[in-house]
Amino acid sequence: MRKFFVHENQICNQQINIIGDDVNHIKNVLRLKPSEKIKICDTDHAINYICEIQEIKKQSVTCLILEIAENEAEGNVQIHIFQGMPKADKMELIIQKGTELGASEFIPVAMQRSIVKLSSKDKRKKIDRWQKIAEVAAKQSGRDKIPEVRDVHTMADICHIISTYDLVLVAYELESKNSIKDEIQKLKGTQESYKIAIVIGPEGGIEAKEIEMLRDAGAKIVTLGRRILRTETVALQMVSVIMYELEDVSYIK
């Protein structure tokens, strides 16, 4: 069953009004017709509805709510990816695949070794594009929430908010003893849900001074093993490992 996202203000009196790009997708790409059933998710509350299309107009599609469906995709682990700004289209891959794997937020970070520098104008365009990629990936993977792509942060910004997380993991190629598994095992089973941040450097890695800033703020510096991974690979490996160890597949929010 096809799935679409709406906000709370698009739901009224057992009806849901779909607007925006999804209208063209429903009408001209999928060629859906009135009386056909679709699934619609209220991303503000992660509530899924089974709906029947009632009317298709030029700029909107009106649907009747038939029943509430069980939440299917959001678990007990929130992962926020603080990604050092990478080159080319690597951020797009990280957001797309990270969304499929279950990441909740993506935060691009301007680090000392980041080659990419965005102007204010380019920044807004990039973030809008990245947010759209997250939305498409969320639809494809059946997510109940669209991960949010935040504004560009600095290392000082991360240090300021570290205390809001249950665990902050920093992948560092010069760390050789403390593994990601060690830190996850310390946290595992201590609570029902988890809010975790992972910090990943750009292609050139994270400067030693930045590592010390994060360590002093309370982050855990970890090794991912003997091999040096590409920056886009690190994000996906860390999310996969965390979800494997901590996600409760029977958890319903």
Q: What whole-number distance in Å separates Cα of residue 208 and Cα of residue 172?
A: 9
Domain range list for the chain: 3-69, 77-246
DSSP-based three-state secondary structure for 156: helix
Question: In this predicted structure, what is the pLDDT of residue 1?
Answer: 84
Question: In this predicted structure, what is the pLDDT of residue 77?
Answer: 95
Question: In this predicted structure, what is the pLDDT of residue 251?
Answer: 54
Question: In this predicted structure, what is the pLDDT of residue 239?
Answer: 96
Question: In this predicted structure, what is the pLDDT of residue 216?
Answer: 96
> In a 10 Å sphere around its CB, with 0-12 CB exposed, 13-18 middle and 19+ buried, how is residue 120 labelled?
exposed
User: Which two three-digit tokens encode residue 181?
Assistant: 């598994």
CA 220 to chain centre: 21
Q: With contact defined as beta carbons under 8 Å apart, do 107 and 165 qualify?
A: no
pLDDT in tens, 241-252: 999 999 986 655
77-246 shares the fold of 3-69 = no
Q: What whole-number distance in Å separates Cα of residue 168 and Cα of residue 183?
A: 10
Question: In this predicted structure, what is the pLDDT of residue 228?
Answer: 87
Q: What whole-number distance in Å separates Cα of residue 164 and Cα of residue 216?
A: 15
pLDDT in tens, 11-27: 999 999 999 999 999 99
Q: What whole-number distance in Å separates Cα of residue 219 and Cα of residue 73?
A: 28
Residue 81: name the closest of 72, 73, 91 by CA.
91
> In a 10 Å sphere around its CB, with 0-12 CB exposed, 13-18 middle and 19+ buried, how is residue 175 labelled?
middle
Q: Which residues of the chain have pLDDT under 50?
A: none
At the top level of CATH, which class does the domain 3-69 belong to? Answer: mainly beta
Question: In this predicted structure, what is the pLDDT of residue 165?
Answer: 97
Q: What whole-number distance in Å separates Cα of residue 229 and Cα of residue 218?
A: 24
**Plot region of 124 (φ>0 → left; ψ -120 to 50 → alpha; else → beta):** alpha
Domain 77-246 has CATH 3.40.1280.10: yes
Q: With contact defined as beta carbons under 8 Å apart, do 110 and 154 qualify?
A: yes
Longest dimension (CA), the chain: 61
Q: What whole-number distance in Å separates Cα of residue 25 and Cα of residue 46?
A: 22
Q: With contact defined as beta carbons under 8 Å apart, do 17 and 30 qualify?
A: no
Q: With contact defined as beta carbons under 8 Å apart, do 29 and 66 qualify?
A: no
β-pair type (105-110, 77-84): parallel
Question: In this predicted structure, what is the pLDDT of residue 46?
Answer: 84
Question: In this predicted structure, what is the pLDDT of residue 250?
Answer: 64
